[in-house]
Structure 1
């Protein structure tokens, strides 16, 4: 039996951030990760709000130093394309304070950079370790049964457990916390390409989101990297995909149905095998419990359309750690009012915009030819990740404000 102040499940962005912050506070921390890094992952277009938490955890210098070597692309906004109508948002021209630029990253390298930087700060990470059982009923400590790649099984005890396992969703599965998402089941097919784009209108400093020519609920991401490669994916309801065809066929068939994107990618060459992910939206009954809390995607994942996943992961880590420290010091923080509800406020802002994207309301706003500078800055802030800024009217009242804005945009057209 080994004892730690905190055991973190998962060495992805939320786990690395939480681990680095806990080590800064002098705590004895172990991070267990089922896979071996580097490993492929999607979620490659960061939002500027991420940089605030990476800096706080002391992880930003490693990212800045290694970005160019790994082909990470400077990012300053988001571009949108629909039936040859192009528009863009500049994240440096936003309503909320905070960083306005970030990177588009290859997650295999990015996640390893963060984990290695956290390890350099003293975080102990064990790769190839699977959490088999968890007992959080004890008054004094949580118990974990784990196994490693060599078949060795052993126990760990911890004053607190943080689950940053992402789509692995370790604690939600072991503790029966999962509940269905209220989002429709959607599918994504994706791969990396050598994009060979020569169109001067294409801005490599921005993610490009393209709407399918005839299916407004189907959209594509194109995330360029600085080495001439890019991440390409298509997202839509599951019935939009042909189950008898491969992930690559589904991806490129949708591209060919969208002439503007097909022309942009006319010289593109896949560099890895296409993959599919189905039914990725997830939710839980609670983000916390006796001696544990869920971080990022382990708690709730909405949709990839606005690249919110890593931002939510890092923000959840930065919010949880101060409460963990207080609890380890004998206090009883209110995890519901100090963590779950504040975190969900931002998630619910993203939820409102994701929902409005798919039902067309936000697309009417995005592709409006009439723009008011102040409102554009407020929308830009949310697209840059600042979904918790209650000073922004579109955060304080996202549903009502979006509905009014959409009507104004339609009237202006």
Structure 2
């Protein structure tokens, strides 16, 4: 029997959290193998990055590569609902730090991060699917299959699951848990946008609320090559069963006058995809010799583009804890990883809940916004959801509830 392929750390998945984690561990001097089921580039959503991501990319040593790749510059977010329109400029945030970012086609972006990780010495094994795991011994053991069905054994001191929506360890170890969110469905794809509206700002993601259903919303994410990502999110029962996804998406877009006008010349030349019931949670973010990163652990909702930010934050926290553990220092994975990660995730959760019940929409579309409060909210929209100097992070729910009440009373 062949000996297992050995590594200090094995990472499952070469997406943003996996590549960032791999690069950080290599900077600390550890041997890393990434097992990736697919071959990059490949299609993925989560295309509108937040400025907080750039801090993590910088720490991983990849910032120059990302800046030089020609991605669409992004400096904020715009929200529209009927005649109401508001913008958040991320440079005007409360929290110190980078205030701009990029809008990226994830196939090319993820491939760039993986290439940078490989350049730093991470060993990426492409088209390798993890079939089973065993954490009962001194080392973690993985059984892996290639695309021809050949089986390989791997062993490592620690495993990081960065498999995203594949959720490898949650499935294999029975860790999955209900998210608590309603079952929502997204229809989305890439288009040749042909936008000629001079008022449209390609440097911002545009979020449009459906004119009649406040819990239904659209995203429009411009890229640097004349194309855009466009999608709609609603509860599953909102859609017409059996009807073509592309036809439904186009019809819904034109139910909103403003969005329909912006995309009046658009060519829907790619397949329209769907994702159902994407919100997910787990019983635990860590266990004996493993931890879950990003979407493998928890995914909230696409409304504030928080997925990649949370994924990269999890990579930062996990690799820092792992470095201390490998150096013989005591590590409490609940105190040092799970709880710090959840603090930011819970901040985003408060704002996601408030978006769908209308409270946050009442806040952002209020006609008399206080600049200092807007700056605090802007920090969260920019991804700085772990900054407890921000009152809307430290006491997110109570602060937002009070603010929503004040906005409603003043309407």
Using structure 1 for the length normalisation, give the TM-score.
0.98
Tell me whether 1:382 sits opposite 2:354 in the alignment. Answer: no
Contact conserved, 1:5 with 1:328, CA < 8 A, in 2? no
Contact conserved, 1:77 with 1:90, CA < 8 A, in 2? yes
Matching residue of 1:314: 312
Per-residue deviation, 1:135: 0.5
Choose which of 244, 247, 252 in structure 2 pairs with 1:246.
244
SS class of match (2:386):
coil
SS class of match (2:225):
coil
Per-residue deviation, 1:165: 0.3
In the alignment, the residues of structure 2 paired with residue 403 and residue 201 of structure 1 have an alpha-carbon distance, to the nearest angstrom, of 33
Matching residue of 2:52: 49
Per-residue deviation, 1:246: 1.7
In the alignment, the residues of structure 2 paired with residue 154 and residue 293 of structure 1 have an alpha-carbon distance, to the nearest angstrom, of 22
SS class of match (1:391):
coil
Matching residue of 2:74: 75
Moved more, 350-359 or 249-258: 249-258
* 1:66-115 deviation per Cα after TM superposition (whole angstroms, max 9, x unaligned): 1x1xxx21000000010021110000000001100000000000000000
Where do 1:148-227 residues align within 5 Å?
148-227=146-225
Tell me whether 1:33 sits opposite 2:36 in the alignment. Answer: yes
SS class of match (1:214):
coil
Choose which of 144, 147, 153 in structure 2 pairs with 1:146.
144
Per-residue deviation, 1:363: 0.4
Per-residue deviation, 1:302: 0.3
Tell me whether 1:2 sits opposite 2:5 in the alignment. Answer: yes
Per-residue deviation, 1:10: 0.1
Matching residue of 2:15: 12
In the alignment, the residues of structure 2 paired with residue 23 and residue 242 of structure 1 have an alpha-carbon distance, to the nearest angstrom, of 49
Contact conserved, 1:163 with 1:293, CA < 8 A, in 2? yes
In the alignment, the residues of structure 1 paired with residue 179 and residue 110 of structure 2 have an alpha-carbon distance, to the nearest angstrom, of 26
Using structure 2 for the length normalisation, give the TM-score.
0.98
Aligned length in residues: 408
Q: How much is the aligned-residue C-alpha RMSD, in angstroms?
A: 0.8
Moved more, 211-220 or 402-411: 402-411
SS class of match (1:26):
coil
TM superposition outliers: structure 1 runs of 4+ over 4 Å: none
Matching residue of 2:351: 353
Matching residue of 1:62: 65
Tell me whether 1:261 sits opposite 2:264 in the alignment. Answer: no
Per-residue deviation, 1:26: 1.1
* 1:7-36 deviation per Cα after TM superposition (whole angstroms, max 9, x unaligned): 000000000000001111111110000000
Per-residue deviation, 1:271: 2.8
SS class of match (1:217):
coil
Contact conserved, 1:4 with 1:157, CA < 8 A, in 2? yes
Matching residue of 2:87: 88
Q: Any unmatched runs of 5+ in structure 1?
A: none
Q: Any unmatched runs of 5+ in structure 2?
A: none
In the alignment, the residues of structure 2 paired with residue 141 and residue 184 of structure 1 have an alpha-carbon distance, to the nearest angstrom, of 39
In the alignment, the residues of structure 1 paired with residue 269 and residue 381 of structure 2 have an alpha-carbon distance, to the nearest angstrom, of 29
SS class of match (2:8):
strand
SS class of match (2:343):
helix
Per-residue deviation, 1:376: 0.5
